[in-house]
Structure 1
Amino acid sequence: MNELMEDKYYIFKNEREEGPYTLDELLQTGLDVNTMVLSPRANDWQRASDLPELFNYFEAEGYYFPTEDNLAGFGWRLLAYIADSIIISYPAGFLRPENFTDAYNRAVAGNPSMDDLSVLMQFNIISFLVVVMYHTICEFSPLQGSLGKKLFRLVVVDEDGRRLGFFRALARNAGKFISGLALMIGYLWCLWDDRKQTWHDKWSKSYVLIRNR
């Protein structure tokens, strides 16, 4: 009986219905996340990406679908952020102008000049742009996340489990400025959000996931 049930996968491909297939045979048909599949466990056609039994297949292809079980919480994301801060801090040191330390010390002492404020502002802007590009390139790359995220087995994906395109990754990371500007509320939003998304996740329609959970 189980074998009969397994022989009832059908797909809609090239504008026609094909099948039946066993699950193993189905995996050899070149499935895409948008391939429509009729499963023996369902009464209607579904996208291949919506079938739990195909999650491992698509993960091997570089897709990670957001589910309630694999959404990364604030703690994991904070650990990745700390790791990235350490990683970036060394190369960022080479971007500091020669008079940065003096300008910084005068600012801490409460008597900075306009030139000091200009130096600090320029360094902050350059640092922000470097951080944005670092995260953008990493998320757009096969890593699907920064080195800090890689260390803690986190990936950034879109709503279909795909790797982010360059401009979506850029929008996500540039948007972190607003998430941080609002008293960090944009970052903290994932603490109570049902999908554990920050503000910059929401407007870029992205998710941070824990792999292999």
Structure 2
Amino acid sequence: MSFGEPNNPYNSAPQPPAGAPGAAGYGYPQQPGVPPQGYGYPQAPGMGGVPQFGTPGMPTLAHWGLRVVATIIDGIIIGLPYYVLGIAGVAMASGDNGSGGGIALALIGFIGTIVLAFWQLAKEGSTGQTIGKRAMKIRLLKEADGSTLGFGLAFGRRICHIVDSIACYIGWLWPLWDSKKQTFADKICSTVVIRSQ
């Protein structure tokens, strides 16, 4: 077979680009009247295929006020054992003539605070909610797929909050004007806080 023969496939007219009328598609044939299907998330304007929060069918982002109140609630709960047992320990130490009972009580309060903080972190990683977030009906999730963070990423996000505090705490205020309502730690870890039902 030579290139000049009429049945030679290399000698045929150029094909129109894929997706154009009359173009030959690859894979399974499409049914008439059904648009071709893509993979992954549905296309959203301006997001390069990632769904935009706030659009129909997508969760609503939590506003800054809800996040602040949730953080205050968590701070009170985590700090409560330390302050209660610490104050009791100081009062006891001033009256026990150096027996050490007050210091032991303050130490127990400190250990209780650490345990509560890690328990809250584990709950946030596994369910997306601390006690404060549950009270405010908000949830922390991965931005890409809406799954929970797991303990490691939740812990890493807490460490990343250092970045929120570096420049005069501007990262903590960033959700007030950010389109995704993210702090710098959220941006680093690719997380979002949404309203839960």
CA contact (8 A) 1:132 1:173 kept: no
Q: Give distance in 1, aligned partners of 2:76 and 2:132.
A: 9
Instruction: Give percent identity, aligned residues only.
Output: 29
Q: Alignment partner for residue 70 of structure 1, among 31, 44, 60?
A: 60
Report the CA distance between 1:180 and its aligned residue: 2.5
When the two chains are superposed, the root-mean-square deviation of aligned CA atoms in Å is 3.8
Specify every segment of 5 or more residues in structure 2 that has no aligned partner in the other structure, as ranges: 1-26, 44-50, 94-109
Report the CA distance between 1:94 and its aligned residue: 5.8
Q: CA 1:176–1:96 in 2, change beyond 3 Å: closer, same or farther?
A: farther
Q: Give distance in 1, aligned partners of 2:111 and 2:163.
A: 17
What do the CA deviations read for 1:62-102 (whole angstroms, capped 9, x no partner)?
Answer: xxx871251111111011112212222312326749569x9
2:82 paired with 1:92: yes
Q: CA 1:50–1:147 in 2, change beyond 3 Å: closer, same or farther?
A: farther
Secondary structure of the structure 1 residue equivalent to 2:133: helix
Q: CA 1:196–1:136 in 2, change beyond 3 Å: closer, same or farther?
A: same
Report the CA distance between 1:184 and its aligned residue: 1.6
Q: Give distance in 2, aligned partners of 1:99 and 1:154.
A: 37
2:30 paired with 1:43: no
What is the one-letter code of the residue matched to 2:53? T
Moved more, 148-157 or 79-88: 79-88
What is the one-letter code of the residue matched to 2:64? F
Secondary structure of the structure 2 residue equivalent to 1:157: strand
Specify every segment of 5 or more residues in structure 1 that has no aligned partner in the other structure, as ranges: 1-15, 21-39, 52-64, 103-124
CA contact (8 A) 1:139 1:145 kept: yes
Larger radius of gyration: 2
TM-score (norm 1): 0.53
TM-score (norm 2): 0.57
What is the one-letter code of the residue matched to 1:174? I
CA contact (8 A) 2:141 2:148 kept: yes
Q: CA 1:127–1:196 in 2, change beyond 3 Å: closer, same or farther?
A: farther
Report the CA distance between 1:164 and its aligned residue: 0.4
Moved more, 189-198 or 133-142: 133-142
Q: Which protein has the bigger strand share?
A: 1
Look up the match of 1:208.
193
Look up the match of 1:177.
162
Q: CA 1:81–1:193 in 2, change beyond 3 Å: closer, same or farther?
A: same
Look up the match of 1:137.
122
User: Which aligned pairs between 1:94-133 and structure 2 lie closer than 5 A?
Assistant: 96=86, 98=89, 133=118
Look up the match of 2:149.
164
Secondary structure of the structure 2 residue equivalent to 1:72: coil
Report the CA distance between 1:141 and its aligned residue: 2.2
